């Protein structure tokens, strides 16, 4: 008899690791009722967010859902029409800009600038002296396998290398809070894996990381906390486990027998599927009473358990359940376009 407990995880090309736990109950970001309108059109409609200090927090939704507008309001790049926000304990993000690192969705580096100079320049914009920025820039590039390219002009770097340089420029002043807008966009699988490891390393040092994405797999692997955004609204924000709990776990059972008194322990929705060579498969939602009474009845009734697995919902199913089929299809289309 084989018994397995787990969840359906979205697959990806980088190594699958568990989500990173938040290190504190203190909030790095708190937003309540954020609203933003452009030309009479509501782009963000009453967004609430609570980002624990030291967490890796994902904002998950299709393009046009309001992710970028929300991040820009948090940063103070644009002001909300309604609502409040607190960033690292301050209501004016511009006052603490030196404590924040921001990678915008629109990438941009001066093509003629040398890589290490680009990193130092970005640090200088956050108050880091240029000489220290160059020193740290060389060290960061060495640590991330780009030591050979410190003096190369940006125009002579590959797309992945240039994006890594811009990310290092976002981090060179050692911010407490890092905000990344669609950081995985345009990266191949290898560089996506590298970026995931960089995000984990930041959180391991206590840095709070919040990133937006339309790719469920990254949020699945990295985050303990997420916000799902669709149509400018956030129908869910909180722990991934709480989101998964909205969908009953699914039971996959294989029995040697196909009927008996133990059958009453299975829900009415459990329909048998005979397999060639004997045995029966069953697939159903876990009853509210849990697995123990069902398992006891199966054993005492001599059902002949060949295998039993209980799987929690993955983030894709959670997203469909919370945001709806239309938003899920838009998310999938964005993912396909990004892979091209």
- Of the two residues 10 and 118, the one the predictor is more confident about is 118
Give which of 299, 292, 244, 289 is closest to 267, Cα–Cα: 289
Alpha-carbon gap, residue 84 to 107, rounded angstroms: 28
Q: Compute the average pLDDT of residues 277-303.
A: 90
Residue 333 exposure: Cα atoms within 13 Å on the Cβ side: 9
pLDDT of 112:
95
Query: Do 234 and 48 form a contact (C-beta atoms < 8 A)?
Result: yes
Whole-angstrom distance, CA of residue 26 vs CA of residue 23: 9
SS (H, E, C) 314-333: CHHHHHHHHHCHHHHHHHHH
pLDDT category, 14, cuts 50, 70, 90?
very low
Element of type H or E holding 110: none
Q: Which of 339, 318, 337 is nearest to 230 (CA)?
A: 318
Q: What is the mean pLDDT of residues 222-250?
A: 92
d(CA 62, CA 56): 19
Q: Give the Cα separation of 115 and 118 in Å (integer).
A: 5
| Rounded average pLDDT over 135-160 | 94
Residues 64-85: pLDDT tens digits?
Answer: 899 999 999 999 999 999 999 9
Burial environment of residue 184 by CB neighbours within 10 A (0 to 12, 13 to 18, 19 or more): buried
H helix count then E strand count, the chain: 10, 14
Dist CA 333 CA 337 (whole Å): 6
Please, what is the average pLDDT of the chain? 89
Confidence check: pLDDT of 301 > 50? yes
For residue 9, the model assigns a pLDDT of 44
Residue 162 CA to residue 192 CA, distance in Å, equals 14
Query: What per-residue confidence (pLDDT) applies to 326?
Result: 86
Q: What is the mean pLDDT of residues 217-224?
A: 92
- pLDDT class of 327 with cuts at 50, 70, 90: confident
Q: Which domains does the chain have, with CATH numbers?
A: 27-241 (3.40.50.300), 248-312 (3.30.70)
Side-chain half-sphere CA neighbours of 28 within 13 A: 25
Q: What is the DSSP letter of 14?
A: S
User: Higher-confidence residue: 9 or 171?
Assistant: 171
pLDDT of residue 15: 43
Position 10 confidence tier, pLDDT thresholds 50, 70, 90 = very low
Has residue 11 got a pLDDT over 50? no
């Amino acid at each position: 008899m084989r018994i397995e407990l787990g969840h359906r995880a979205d697959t990806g090309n980088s190594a699958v690791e568990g989500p990173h736990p938040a290190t504190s109950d203190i909030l790095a970001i708190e937003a309540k009722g954020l609203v933003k309108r452009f030309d009479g059109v509501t782009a963000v409609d009453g967004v609430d967010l609570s980002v624990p200090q030291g967490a890796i927090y994902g904002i998950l939704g299709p393009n046009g859902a309001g992710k970028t507008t929300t991040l820009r309001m948090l940063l103070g790049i644009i002001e909300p029409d309604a609502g409040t926000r607190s960033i690292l304990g301050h209501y004016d993000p511009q006052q603490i800009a030196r404590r924040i690192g921001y990678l915008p969705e629109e990438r941009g580096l001066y093509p003629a600038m040398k890589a290490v100079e680009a990193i130092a320049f970005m640090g200088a914009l956050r108050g880091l002296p240029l000489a220290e920025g160059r020193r740290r820039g060389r060290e960061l590039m060495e640590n991330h396998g780009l030591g050979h390219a410190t003096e190369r002009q940006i125009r002579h770097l590959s797309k992945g290398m240039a994006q890594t340089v811009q990310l290092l420029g976002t981090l060179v002043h050692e911010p407490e809070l890092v905000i990344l807008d669609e950081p995985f966009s345009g990266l191949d699988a290898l560089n996506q894996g590298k970026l995931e490891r960089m995000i984990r390393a930041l959180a391991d040092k206590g840095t709070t990381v919040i990133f937006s994405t339309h790719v469920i797999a990254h949020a699945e692997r990295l985050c303990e906390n997420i916000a799902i955004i669709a149509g400018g609204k956030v129908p869910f924000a909180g722990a991934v486990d709480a989101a998964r709990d909205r969908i009953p776990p699914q039971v996959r059972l294989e029995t040697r027998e196909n009927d008996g008194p133990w059958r009453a322990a299975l829900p009415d929705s459990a329909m048998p599927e005979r397999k060639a060579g004997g045995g029966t498969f069953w697939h159903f939602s876990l009853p509210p009473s849990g697995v123990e009474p069902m398992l006891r009845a199966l054993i005492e009734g001599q059902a002949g358990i060949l295998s039993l697995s209980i799987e929690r919902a993955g983030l894709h199913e959670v997203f469909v359940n919370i945001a709806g089929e239309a938003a899920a299809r838009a998310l999938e289309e964005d993912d396909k376009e990004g892979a091209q």
